[in-house]
Structure 1
Amino acid sequence: MTEIAPSAHIAPGAVIAPGAQIGAGCRIGPFCHIGPEVVLEDGVELVSHIVVEGATRIGAGARILPFASVGTPPQDTKYKNEPTRCEIGARTLVREGCTIHRASVGGSGVTSVGAGCMLMAQAHVAHDCILGDGVILANNVMLGGHVHVGDGAFIGGGAAVTQTVRIGRLAMVSGLAGVTNDIPPFGYVFGLPARLVGFNKIGLLRRGASRDDIRTLRLAHNFLYKDPGEFAAKVTQAEERWSGDPLVQEVLAFIRDATRRRQLVRPGRMTAPELGGVDEENGEGA
């Protein structure tokens, strides 16, 4: 049975299938199509010309702009309309033309976008992707299936991320990058294929990291990726050397994670004309 809160506003021309649940204060614009298993929490706004299908839940206060589609079937030839889900967190903004597919049967059964995210125009979130809170995807970002993106990460315009890649918290991906390997927390990557060229100093400072935190993280980054020596041995040494530093330990835990399916991104270097908003000496993301 369809449940539409009395305070919801449904424009003429919108189609609400029997069984959908529409929360208080929702605004559904003209020519939107809402499937029978969809749940819109309070205050969701669908501006116009939007399709929401499947077992999809959209969190309170989320806003979706024209020609986006959410919860449509995955682009996976193995998928035979099995019951999978799609979830969009509260206060997330989905801009024009974005596509967010529900999960396939080869993962956790849910595609999830966290709270307070912004997906800019034409971004694509494939089946079984998991995005944390506060993630920003710039225009035309393409995420393959089963990609995991940590809280607060930023992926620049036109970047492509291949399936099963993991991107750590507050990592930064440059525009047009081609990401084929895992990016540790706070890492900054650039190029095709993407290479680790620094860390996201500005993002860390904006979220409360101190100058001492930045100095320590820089020391650890240089030790792991620039100093000579076998990488596994340096990871062990870093665990002991910075045992009391939570940011360094977060990076090391990501590196040690046995569930990762991709190798770590390799370190690289940016030449001066390519630097843009990156500090040339320290490779710090702007």
Structure 2
Amino acid sequence: MLIHPTALIDSNAQLDSTVEVGAYCVIGPDVSIDAGTKMGSHVVIQGHTRIGRDNHFHAFSSIGGPPQDKKYGGEVTYLEIGDRNLIREFCTFNCGTVQDRGVTRIGSDNWFLAYVHIAHDCTVGNHTVFSNNAALAGHVEVGDWVIMSGFSAVHQFCKIGAHAFVGMNTSLTQDVPPFVLVSGNPAQAHGANLEGLKRRGFSRDQLNAIRQSYKLIYKSGLTLEESKAALEQQVASLEADAASQVQAMRDFLDASTRGIAR
């Protein structure tokens, strides 16, 4: 009773006995789906795709399709999805490419609203929210608790740090450090995401430290290298809980390859 009679499921697909499959779904031979996951009607899951527990795919999602990359030659690549994700209508998640890590990875407890696109070789953390029509080009890295507002678009190879906020209609071509709020076309920084951090239980000391770090990077007139040195001094002056947040911003600057959105 959990599988609609119109669903087409390859005999080699591995589905837990508790998986629910709606009308006219198509599931390919190299798909693995863990317990409690549900699919609405007309969901297509293909490729070498591994899906965790208690995910919910709504109608017309296309999951595990080949990468939209002209270099792709049919190589075996992967898509991995964690647990308890909500995937709304018409979302598209692609497998990776051999030119990169060969796998697209999505964590757990994320919300993907209608028409979200996650391209090849992307990495998405946990507890993120992608609003309608948000899109990632290939090789993008998104940290935990990031919010992508509607119609935001991210250039390939960009990185978005944990707890960042990307505003509606934003065109992002550079990296976004943790905790930073950006919006616009081209994207510009508009402060630290303090309201979001308050909702997640950050302490006053942590918020003050993040606010000061933002000022060092964006408001002090320092070069990026000078900002890194100033952040190191700030880390040394703080208690552990607050210092860890500043260290995350400092480490992100080292990892950035496209420069940061200013």
Q: TM-score range by the shorter chain?
A: over 0.9
TM-score for the superposition, normalised by structure 2: 0.95
Q: Which residue of 1 aligns with 2:235?
A: 242
After TM superposition, list the pairs within 5 Å mapping 1:132-211 onto structure 2. 132-211=125-204
Residue identity in the other structure for 1:60? R
Q: Deviations over 1:148-182 (max 9, x none)?
A: 00001000000010100000001000010000000
| 8 Å Cα contact 2:7/2:25 also seen in 1 | yes
Determine the C-alpha separation between the residues in 2 that align with 1:220 and 1:85.
Answer: 38
Determine the C-alpha separation between the residues in 1 that align with 2:149 and 2:79.
Answer: 24
2:261 to 261, 265, 269: 265
After TM superposition, list the pairs within 5 Å mapping 1:1-286 onto structure 2. 9-243=2-236, 244=238, 245-257=243-255, 260-266=256-262
Determine the C-alpha separation between the residues in 2 that align with 1:93 and 1:65.
Answer: 8
Residue identity in the other structure for 2:57? I
Determine the C-alpha separation between the residues in 2 that align with 1:89 and 1:72.
Answer: 17
For residue 214 of structure 1, give the secondary structure of its aligned residue in structure 2: helix
| 8 Å Cα contact 2:135/2:152 also seen in 1 | yes
For residue 87 of structure 1, give the secondary structure of its aligned residue in structure 2: strand
Corresponding pairs, count: 257
- Quote the offset at 1:212 in angstroms: 2.0
Q: Deviations over 1:104-133 (max 9, x none)?
A: 111111111110001000010000110001
Gaps of 5+ in 1: 1-7, 267-286
Of 168-177 and 222-231, more deviation after overlay is shown by 222-231
Q: Deviations over 1:26-84 (max 9, x none)?
A: 10001000000000100110111010001101110000000000000010011111010
What is the root-mean-square deviation of aligned Cα atoms in Å?
1.1
Residue identity in the other structure for 2:194? K
Gaps of 5+ in 2: none
Runs of 4 or more, structure 1, over 6 Å off, are none
Residue identity in the other structure for 1:263? G
Determine the C-alpha separation between the residues in 2 that align with 1:66 and 1:222.
Answer: 45
For residue 242 of structure 1, give the secondary structure of its aligned residue in structure 2: helix
Determine the C-alpha separation between the residues in 2 that align with 1:153 and 1:68.
Answer: 22
TM-score for the superposition, normalised by structure 1: 0.87
For residue 259 of structure 2, give the secondary structure of its aligned residue in structure 1: coil
- Quote the offset at 1:234 in angstroms: 2.7
Determine the C-alpha separation between the residues in 1 that align with 2:76 and 2:173.
Answer: 29
Residue identity in the other structure for 2:247? Q
Determine the C-alpha separation between the residues in 2 that align with 1:11 and 1:230.
Answer: 60
